[in-house]
Amino acid sequence: MSSDGGKGDLLLTMRGLRIEGQSDEEWHEIVKGVDLDLHRGEVLGLIGESGAGKSTIGLAAMGFARPGCRISAGEIVFDGVDLMKASESTKRKLRGVRIAYVAQSAAASFNPAHRLIDQFSEGPVEHGVSGRAEAESDARELYGKLLLPDPDRIGYRYPHQVSGGQLQRAMTAMAMACRPDLIIFDEPTTALDVTTQIEVLATIKNIVEEFDTAAIYITHDLAVVAQMADRIKVLRFGETVEEADTATMMTSPQQEYTKTLWAVRSFKKEPIPAKSKEPLVSVKNVTAAYGAVPVLHDVSFDIYRGKTVAVVGESGSGKSTTARVITGLLPPREGQVLVNGEPLPGDYRHRTKAQLRHAQMIYQMADTAVNPKQRIREIIGRPVSFYLGLSGRRLEERIRELLSLIELEPDKFIDRFPGELSGGQKQRICIARALAAEPEFIICDEVTSALDQIVAEGILRLLDRLQRELDLAYMFITHDLATVRAISDEVVVMLKGRIVEQGPREEMFTPPHHEYTDLLLSSVPEMDPHWLDDLMERRRRDGMMASTSTS
Amino acid sequence: MHNIVKLVAQRMALGLLVLFIVSLIIAAGVDALPGDLCQEMQGQSATAETLEACRKEIGLDKALPLRYADWLGGILKGDFGVSLANGRQISELIGSRLGNTFFLAGLAAIISVPLALALGILAALYRNGIYDRGVNVVTLSSISFPEFFIAYILILWLSVNWGWFPSLSNVGGDTPLAERAYKSLLPALTLTLVVVAHMMRMTRASIINLLASPYIEMASLKGMTKSRIILKHALPNAWAPIVNVVVLNLAYLIVGVVVVEVVFVYPGLGELMVDSVRKRDIPVVQACASIFAATYIILNMTADILSIVTNPRLLHPK
């Protein structure tokens, strides 16, 4: 699969594409003159951080601009049709038939009110491509090709009755319904667990090859794009940074920015020598349930002062529930949590202020974890006055100190609202809020998952520095093994509410592993463009696909 | 399906409990009204002796809890008691009136609900356009006027000036259906003008609220037409709030129509209740109020159930 060999003629061209977005009654340029060529049957990877304009360009390939956006200049020609000049009805007839779209969140992009197969058939039937019965039998066939379990019946379910990975494949099937010439994949696996992602990637890759469909594959994950694309285009701030075929791009990126993207995964913390033998926090034989549904089974691990324990697992494995038990939001059925050897009451309402102060949380979505109507001063100041009883000038001083600690300039930020901050800055505010209580122990729940890699790396470095300076213990919940590799001292691997393996980082990343840890580790995409093919080949040999394809 | 049966049973039990509490409040409220039937009937000529005799005769001398217990016992046996004012069976008195009220409400609902939904859907489809603004202005104006004002305007134009409809809706038990509908049309139109705005605006807002959803964008990207997106993709997910507002308005059509009934001299339940309050005819007031409360409870329960039935997450559990 190379861009110059066996691929067909030009399918899509963009010249000088400019797109503007509206905010505060003003139009700002988000895409600033991008050129793009795509040949029949070719897969082009668009890569960049959020705000680079990737999705906007992807949608523009369908002649579509989101509400609040407009295509202001340039040329978009799809197979001889000028999409800038085409009427709404001409474009409508292309969409779904010749150009299809696969969205990031399949769960949100399937209509909850209709069955999967109805949504599949809608395109072909409404566009007059095929009849209803024909569309349904085609759906069943495609579901089979995409390795969905029970392909004859799964279509008759509603979206909420199907798992995330299955939905994403069902959406790919839906995009294929009219056998389009071009599919736009907009971060289709970003919301999925690493073990699920790999299956979706493999099935997408196969089906695109089988039908010789051209694709624009949008992602912020380099390793993923390396597996999927023939050619890669790097974007930043709405402009092309560079473009080359995948092999060249992976081995010898030309631009400085691309090199920093490539280098991002290099952060790895220096091991901290053990200081104390007594654990700071011990989770002992905890079993917990939501109502009648058991979620945690006999979970035990220790966290030492100044150390980081990474808790890894897929969604639903009980990582966050463990955090809820430690913070007292969910009293355990059995077992207990000890801090400095003293058992804590199971319910946070029965804990003393001092006990509460020692365990703080940082959440995944900084957006929703801060009150948008409060200024930074109040957000950070509240725990300072609540736990430490400071007020007036001393409170003000402490808030400024905390802001300096998280590397945000106090004068500039103290009176801002969260809405005026970037995602990374908001997460820093959440860190400052946790630090405000002067805790010994912080639970970080997927704190970097919603951030771009470069921003995420900054957060990880900050957390590492704070740990050294303040001797903090972290419980770091994540599904991202690259993060685990970067920051952990100890690793706990969870599956279905149980701990399957735990130990020091070096041990966990060196074989032999527990079977499930092995699956997790081997599913992390690597930069090598042949990695996915090789892995699939290996797993097919081992017959592992059979046992995991139902996830 | 099993879940829904259980849920409906739970709601019904709760509804009965609410009804019981409401009946207590009504009994206490009616008792707190100044004066009673005997004072009302005897007026200036009342003496302490005649009042006491009168109260004894109709049982007003008993304590409130005792009277309430008697009344409740009767209700449980299906006996609403007799009117204190004229000694007629209340069930008989209310029966025909209730039928009339339901008829008027039904007629108004048949006109207003489809109209409001259609206007709302069209407003969502052509949002921020001239049609949208126009329909908003008109419905908002009609809701802003007092009902009796709308009623008199309609009487002036449709009845007095143009003579299309009668201004009196004196329907009786033996009035044939067509004539009944014809005579009730003016009050029904008045009510329609009053309730359409709420329902139409909620329909519009609920649909527009969903238009930013990823699945709506997906439908556009599948090349679906605007009208199909609104009808097939937005509307099915918008039912819950719409149904709730529709039901509240239906309840209003049954219990809130006193003014309109009085203007058109329509023999409905509201008119009877107002009349009975004036006469302090407590059993009748209590019966009417209980019926109104039951209407509210039943309709709201219907709204809950419809919201569930239109939500696949609840209808088709994992």
Do A17 and A31 touch, CB atoms closer than 8 A? yes
Are A353 and A290 in the same domain? yes
How far is the C-alpha of A499 from the C-alpha of A230, rounded, in Å?
40
Spatial CB neighbours of A78, under 8 Å, sequence gap ≥ 6: A11, A12, A61, A63, A94, A98, A99, A182
Q: Work out the mean pLDDT of chain B and round it to a whole number.
A: 83
Counting beta carbons within 10 angstroms of the beta carbon of residue A338, is it exposed (0 to 12), middle (13 to 18) or buried (19 or more)?
middle
- As for the ipTM of the complex, it is 0.76
Question: Which of these, A64, A9, A75, A15, lies nearest to A42 by C-alpha position?
Answer: A9
Give domain status of residue B279, yes or no. Answer: no
- Chain B: closest CA distance from residue A59 (Å): 9
Do B38 and B51 touch, CB atoms closer than 8 A? yes
Under DSSP, the state recorded for A52 is S
Structure confidence at residue A165 (pLDDT): 82
Are A451 and A384 in the same domain? yes
Do A327 and A359 touch, CB atoms closer than 8 A? yes
Domain range holding A455? 281-510
Question: Which of these, A122, A133, A218, lies nearest to A175 by C-alpha position?
Answer: A122
Are A409 and A470 in the same domain? yes
Cis previous bond, A511, omega within 30: no
How would residue B221 be classed by pLDDT, with cut points 50, 70 and 90? very high
In A, minimum Cα distance to B210 occurs at A111
A499 phi, psi to nearest 5 deg: -85, 120
- Chain B: closest CA distance from residue A162 (Å): 8
Are A341 and A230 in the same domain? no
* pLDDT at A124 exceeding the cut of 90: yes
Spatial CB neighbours of B101, under 8 Å, sequence gap ≥ 6: B254, B257, B261, B268, B269, B270
Are A218 and A152 in the same domain? yes
Q: Which residues of A touch B (CB under 8 A)?
A: 59, 62, 64, 66-67, 92-97, 100-101, 103, 105, 108-114, 122-123, 126-127, 157-158, 160-161, 174
Structure confidence at residue A269 (pLDDT): 74
Interval A335-344: pLDDT, tens: 999 998 889 8
Give domain status of residue A365, yes or no. Answer: yes
Interval A395-444: pLDDT, tens: 999 999 999 988 888 888 888 888 888 888 899 999 999 999 989 999 99
Interval A440-490: pLDDT, tens: 999 999 888 778 777 888 888 889 989 988 889 999 998 888 888 888 889
Are A473 and A379 in the same domain? yes
Would the CB atoms of A67 and B212 count as touching at under 8 Å? Answer: yes
Structure confidence at residue B173 (pLDDT): 66
Give domain status of residue A483, yes or no. Answer: yes
Q: Which of B221, B224, B308 is the best substitution to test chain A (most A C-beta atoms within 10 A)?
A: B221
How far is the C-alpha of A454 from the C-alpha of A441, rounded, in Å?
26
Domain end point (choices A474, A494, A510): A510
- Chain B: closest CA distance from residue A514 (Å): 31
Are A240 and A359 in the same domain? no
* pLDDT at A99 exceeding the cut of 90: yes
Residue type, B272: L
Count of domains observed in chain A: 2
Do B223 and B158 touch, CB atoms closer than 8 A? no
How would you classify the pairing of strands A473-478 and A308-312? parallel
What CATH number is attached to the domain comprising B266?
A: 1.10.3720.10
Q: Which of B211, B215, B228 is the best substitution to test chain A (most A C-beta atoms within 10 A)?
A: B215
Are A446 and A383 in the same domain? yes
Q: Which helix H or strand E contains A236, and what residues bound it? A: strand A231-236
Structure confidence at residue A7 (pLDDT): 58
**Selected residue with higher pLDDT from B87 and A347:** A347
Would the CB atoms of A96 and B222 count as touching at under 8 Å? Answer: yes
Counting beta carbons within 10 angstroms of the beta carbon of residue A491, is it exposed (0 to 12), middle (13 to 18) or buried (19 or more)?
buried
Q: What is the mean pLDDT of residues A30-47?
A: 91
How would you classify the pairing of strands A308-312 and A490-495? parallel
Which among A109, A126, A160 has CB closest to B224? A126
* pLDDT at A155 exceeding the cut of 50: yes
Structure confidence at residue A530 (pLDDT): 84
Would the CB atoms of B220 and A64 count as touching at under 8 Å? Answer: yes
Would the CB atoms of B313 and A110 count as touching at under 8 Å? Answer: no
Kindly report the pTM of this predicted structure.
0.78
State both tokens at B134: 């126009």
How would residue A320 be classed by pLDDT, with cut points 50, 70 and 90? confident
Would the CB atoms of A158 and B213 count as touching at under 8 Å? Answer: no
Residue type, A320: S
Spatial CB neighbours of B67, under 8 Å, sequence gap ≥ 6: B27, B59, B60
Grouping H, G, I as helix, E, B as strand and the rest as coil, residue A352 is: coil
Cβ atoms within 10 A of the Cβ of A33, count?
Answer: 15
Under DSSP, the state recorded for A160 is G
Would the CB atoms of B223 and A97 count as touching at under 8 Å? Answer: yes
**Selected residue with higher pLDDT from A151 and B80:** A151
* pLDDT at B313 exceeding the cut of 80: no
State both tokens at B274: 């107002």
Lowest model confidence (mean pLDDT) among A49-53, A109-113, B288-292: A49-53
B214 CB neighbours in chain A (<8 A) are 103, 105, 108-109
B310 CB neighbours in chain A (<8 A) are 113
B227 CB neighbours in chain A (<8 A) are none
- A240-to-A33, A264, B191 alpha-carbon distances in Å: 8, 20, 62
Structure confidence at residue A549 (pLDDT): 45
B228 CB neighbours in chain A (<8 A) are 126
Which among A93, A103, A111 has CB closest to B223? A93
How would residue B118 be classed by pLDDT, with cut points 50, 70 and 90? very high
Question: Which of these, B248, B301, B299, B295, lies nearest to B10 by C-alpha position?
Answer: B301
Give domain status of residue A338, yes or no. Answer: yes
Question: Which of these, A122, A498, A144, A215, lies nearest to B233 by C-alpha position?
Answer: A122
Partner A contacted by B57 (CB < 8 A): no
Domain end point (choices A230, A260, A290): A260
Cβ atoms within 10 A of the Cβ of A497, count?
Answer: 22
Q: What is the mean pLDDT of residues B124-150?
A: 87
State both tokens at A432: 């400052």
C-alpha angle A463-A312-A543 in degrees, rounded to nearest 5: 145
Interval B191-206: pLDDT, tens: 888 889 889 999 999 9
How would residue A293 be classed by pLDDT, with cut points 50, 70 and 90? confident
Give domain status of residue B160, yes or no. Answer: yes
How far is the C-alpha of A49 from the C-alpha of A53, rounded, in Å?
9
Give domain status of residue B311, yes or no. Answer: no
* pLDDT at A309 exceeding the cut of 90: yes
Structure confidence at residue A518 (pLDDT): 84
Q: Which of A56, A99, A111 is the best substitution to test chain B (most B C-beta atoms within 10 A)?
A: A111
Are A230 and A336 in the same domain? no
Q: Work out the mean pLDDT of chain A and round it to a whole number.
A: 87
- A537-to-A86, A202, A206 alpha-carbon distances in Å: 45, 11, 13
Are A339 and A442 in the same domain? yes
How far is the C-alpha of A178 from the C-alpha of A152, rounded, in Å?
19
Structure confidence at residue A102 (pLDDT): 93
Under DSSP, the state recorded for A421 is S
Are A302 and A435 in the same domain? yes
- A321-to-A258, A350, B302 alpha-carbon distances in Å: 38, 19, 37
The torsion defined by the Cα of B31, B35, B41 and B47, in degrees rounded to 10, comes to 120
How would residue A4 be classed by pLDDT, with cut points 50, 70 and 90? very low
Q: What is the mean pLDDT of residues A225-253?
A: 89
How would residue A3 be classed by pLDDT, with cut points 50, 70 and 90? very low
Structure confidence at residue B174 (pLDDT): 73
Count of domains observed in chain B: 1
Question: Which of these, A233, A244, A226, A252, lies nearest to A529 by C-alpha position?
Answer: A226
Interval A196-238: pLDDT, tens: 888 888 888 888 888 889 999 998 888 888 889 999 999 998 8
**Selected residue with higher pLDDT from A183 and B277:** A183
Spatial CB neighbours of A16, under 8 Å, sequence gap ≥ 6: A33, A34, A35, A73, A74, A75
A533 phi, psi to nearest 5 deg: -60, -45
Size of interface A-B (CB pairs under 8 A): 75
How far is the C-alpha of B71 from the C-alpha of B92, rounded, in Å?
17
Structure confidence at residue A550 (pLDDT): 44
In B, minimum Cα distance to A156 occurs at B316
Domain range holding B115? 96-270
* pLDDT at A2 exceeding the cut of 50: no
How far is the C-alpha of B238 from the C-alpha of B216, rounded, in Å?
12
Partner A contacted by B176 (CB < 8 A): no
Interval B154-174: pLDDT, tens: 888 887 788 788 777 777 767
How far is the C-alpha of A460 from the C-alpha of A308, rounded, in Å?
12
Spatial CB neighbours of A399, under 8 Å, sequence gap ≥ 6: A376, A377, A380, A381, A384, A410, A414, A436
Strands across the sheet containing A334-339:
A293-303, A281-290, A334-339, A342-343
How far is the C-alpha of B85 from the C-alpha of A539, rounded, in Å?
89
How would residue A543 be classed by pLDDT, with cut points 50, 70 and 90? low
- A383-to-A39, A261, A469, A522, B156 alpha-carbon distances in Å: 57, 37, 20, 42, 68
User: Which residue(s) pair with B107 in the sheet?
Assistant: none
Structure confidence at residue A545 (pLDDT): 47
- Proportion of chain A above pLDDT 90, given as a percent: 37
* pLDDT at B110 exceeding the cut of 90: yes
Do A69 and A44 touch, CB atoms closer than 8 A? no
What CATH number is attached to the domain comprising A111?
A: 3.40.50.300
Do A521 and A481 touch, CB atoms closer than 8 A? yes
Give domain status of residue A431, yes or no. Answer: yes
User: Which residue(s) pair with A303 in the sheet?
Assistant: A281
Structure confidence at residue A1 (pLDDT): 41
A122 CB neighbours in chain B (<8 A) are 222, 224, 232
Residue type, A364: Q
Q: Which of B218, B237, B239 is the best substitution to test chain A (most A C-beta atoms within 10 A)?
A: B218
